[in-house]
């Protein structure tokens, strides 16, 4: 098999795995918790951060969203009461984003869903395949 073909095969497998996972995540998170994958990602990062609040910029660095998409995702979360924005006093162009109590709770509810989806898709259980 040529290197080209190996490369294409690798890419297809990557795309397959990503599509299967993101698709399942999107559906489960939406149906069971009313949030999308991007929104969960934001909430999850906030919940896992050392600080209680993060700058938009810090979020943008770790989430797979363009700056504009992140701005809108945070806007949606804010509309749903899961995060709140606060001005940054040091640099008044900046915006801090922090989880609300409702946001923390929603994250606590949704995280097990995410983990179980990940486990199911990334660790094809109940099979003897050594992968």
- Chain residues that interact with its own copies, rule: CB under 8 A: 4, 7-8, 10-11, 14-19, 21-22, 64, 115, 118-119, 122-123
Say if residues 61 and 70 touch (Cβ distance below 8 Å). no
Query: What's the CA gap between 11 and 5, in Å, rounded?
Result: 10
Alpha carbon 77 to its chain centroid, in Å, reads 13
Residue 102: name its binding partner from its own copies, DNA, none (Cβ under 5 to 8 Å by kind).
Answer: none
C-beta of 48: minimal distance to DNA in Å?
A: 19
C-beta of 73: minimal distance to DNA in Å?
A: 5
Count of all residues that appear for the chain in the document: 131
Q: What residues line the site for DNA (CB under 7 A)?
A: 27, 36, 38, 55-57, 60, 64-69, 71-76, 85, 88, 91-95
Closer to DNA by CB, 14 or 75: give it: 75
Residue 105: name its binding partner from DNA, its own copies, none (Cβ under 5 to 8 Å by kind).
Answer: none
Query: What's the CA gap between 84 and 130, in Å, rounded?
Result: 45
C-beta of 2: minimal distance to DNA in Å?
A: 28
Give Cβ neighbours of residue 33 (< 8 Å, ≥ 6 apart). 40, 106, 109, 110, 113
The one-character DSSP state at 64 is: S
Closer to DNA by CB, 6 or 66: give it: 66
């Amino acid at each position: 098999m040529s290197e080209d073909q190996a490369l294409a095969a690798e890419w297809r497998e990557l795309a397959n795995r990503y599509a299967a996972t993101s698709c399942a995540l999107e559906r489960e998170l939406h149906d069971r918790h009313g949030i999308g994958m991007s929104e969960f990602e934001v909430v999850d990062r906030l919940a896992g951060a050392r600080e209680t609040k993060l700058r938009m910029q810090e979020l943008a660095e770790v989430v797979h969203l363009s700056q504009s998409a992140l701005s809108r995702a945070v806007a949606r979360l804010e509309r749903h009461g899961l995060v709140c924005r606060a001005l940054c006093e040091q640099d008044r162009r900046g915006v801090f984003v922090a989880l609300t109590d409702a946001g923390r709770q929603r994250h606590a509810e949704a995280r097990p869903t995410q983990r179980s989806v990940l486990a199911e898709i990334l660790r094809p259980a109940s099979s003897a395949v050594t992968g």
